């Protein structure tokens, strides 16, 4: 059973990351990578979103017909720890219910490449989620992309702002593709069915 509100309401899928080429391949930017792939799938290119500090693509996800969902893909351009403001501005502008917001983000407490989909919950120290929850409350969907814990004594901040390792990059495209699939499943089929397929 789908837990979401009105079926005709648009969805806002937010890839979390930091803007700028120096961050592009960081672990912290995997949300941007998934958003870019989804934009390519619907044939769109990111453009500046009016007054909101974000880039967006509008389109439809899913097969033609009743399973197709109107979607706004977004990448906040405000840096990770200020993501909530731009996301909330987009949500207000497009009249998106909170349970139609999906944050795609890196997750330290899950092994690399493993996905977990959920609705609501805490931020687990993730600055992007912390900012979104402060701006809107916690009851939005999350697609959590595992990046694992830092090795040895490396600080978390250093780890998430480093590029994926060469070993990780060998499987990165596959994992990003799977994460994009999970977003499409969440929108088309609802949380429970998407969890049963992708929560490995």
28 belongs to the catalytic site: yes
Q: With left for phi above 0 and alpha for psi between -120 and 50, is residue 116 left, alpha or beta?
A: beta
Distance between CA atoms of residues 128 and 97, nearest Å: 19
Q: Please, is 135 exposed, middle or buried when counting C-beta atoms within 10 Å of its C-beta (0-12, 13-18, 19+)? A: middle
| Residue of 183, 135, 178 lying closest to 11 (CA atoms) | 183
Among residues 188, 200, 199, the alpha carbon closest in space to that of 2 is found at: 188
Of the residues 28, 100, 105, 141, only one is catalytic, namely 28
- Which neighbouring-strand residues pair with 102? 13, 141
**Looking at the annotation, which residues are catalytic?**
28
């Amino acid at each position: 059973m789908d837990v979401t509100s009105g079926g005709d309401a648009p969805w806002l899928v937010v890839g979390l990351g930091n803007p700028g080429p120096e961050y592009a391949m960081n672990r912290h930017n995997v949300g941007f990578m998934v958003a870019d792939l989804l934009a390519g799938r619907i044939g769109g290119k990111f453009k500046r979103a009016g007054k909101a500090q974000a880039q967006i693509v509008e389109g439809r996800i899913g097969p033609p017909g009743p399973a197709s969902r109107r979607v706004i893909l977004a990448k906040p351009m405000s840096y990770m720890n200020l993501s909530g403001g731009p996301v909330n501005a987009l949500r207000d502008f497009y009249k998106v219910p909170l349970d139609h917001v999906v944050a795609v983000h890196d997750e330290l407490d899950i092994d690399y490449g493993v996905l977990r989909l959920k609705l609501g919950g805490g931020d687990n120290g993730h600055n992007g989620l912390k900012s979104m929850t402060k701006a809107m409350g916690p009851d939005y969907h999350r697609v959590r992309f595992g990046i694992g814990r830092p090795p040895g004594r490396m600080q978390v901040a250093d780890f998430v702002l480093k590029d994926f390792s060469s070993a990780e990059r060998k499987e990165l495209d596959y994992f990003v593709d799977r994460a994009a699939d999970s977003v499409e499943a969440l929108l088309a089929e609802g949380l429970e069915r998407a969890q049963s397929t992708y929560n490995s």
